[in-house]
Amino acid sequence: MMNMSLMIIITFILGNMIFVSKHKHLLIVLLSLEFMVLSIFFLLLMYLMMISYNMYMLMVSLVFFVCEGALGVSILVSMIRTHGNDYFQSFSLI
């Protein structure tokens, strides 16, 4: 059980490192965010199973994670439609 939670924490750290280092394309940033969310979901699943708690909070968190992913994809699609690519350098916030 401890090995599994250690692996999940390592996957979160790897996703965080990818998020920090690869910031040229929006798609890579979104994929690393989803990787971190998936590791948080598995960590929450393991914790709730360990204390034998009901899985209601897991469903609530899963709904928020899916909404976050849909919002990221909609931002990606709108950025590609307006700018033609997903480079962060091609648009400014001004």
pLDDT tens readout for residues 24-49: 788 888 888 888 898 988 888 888 88
Q: Which domain holds residue 69?
A: 2-90
Radius of gyration of the chain (CA): 16
* Cβ 24 vs Cβ 88: under 8 Å: yes
pTM above 0.85, yes or no: no
- Whose CA is closest to 44, among 59, 30, 34, 32? 59
Check residue 93 and give its pLDDT.
59
90 pLDDT tier (thresholds 50, 70, 90): low
36: Cα separation from own chain's centroid: 4
* Tally of structural domains, the chain: 1
The domain that holds 53 is classified in CATH as 1.10.287.3510
Structure tokens at 11: 């996957």
pLDDT bin (cut points 50, 70, 90) of residue 67 is very high
